[in-house]
Amino acid sequence: LCKLDTDAKGGAALSIAHATGRPIVLAGVGQGYDDMIPFDPEWFVNSILE
């Protein structure tokens, strides 16, 4: 997955990670390669709850 949103797409990322047993390593937060950041579960949860 290249981009995480705080909607159903983000939920899909969590479902895929759970189903495959593979961690989410990077999160795309924009349109370019420079918009890839290390995935931080705490940041992700906070962004959903805001």
Q: What is the pLDDT of residue 29?
A: 80
Q: What is the pLDDT of residue 15?
A: 83
For 1-50, write each residue's pLDDT tens digit.
555 655 555 677 888 889 999 999 988 887 888 888 899 989 888 877 87
Q: What is the pLDDT of residue 25?
A: 92
Phi and psi, residue 4, nearest 5°: -105, 130
Q: What is the pLDDT of residue 43?
A: 85
| Residue 15 belongs to some domain of the structure | yes
| Residue 38 belongs to some domain of the structure | yes
| Residue 12 belongs to some domain of the structure | yes
Whether the CB-CB separation of 24 and 17 falls below 8 Å is answered with: yes
Q: What is the pLDDT of residue 21?
A: 96
- The number of domains in the chain is 1
| Residue 1 belongs to some domain of the structure | no
Residues 6 or more apart whose Cβ sits within 8 Å of residue 47: 6
| Residue 3 belongs to some domain of the structure | no
| Residue 41 belongs to some domain of the structure | yes
Q: What is the pLDDT of residue 20?
A: 95
DSSP-assigned letter for residue 21: T
**SS3 state of residue 9:** helix
| Whole-number Å distance between alpha carbons of 30 and 10 | 14
Which residues span the domain enclosing 15?
8-49
| Residue 2 belongs to some domain of the structure | no
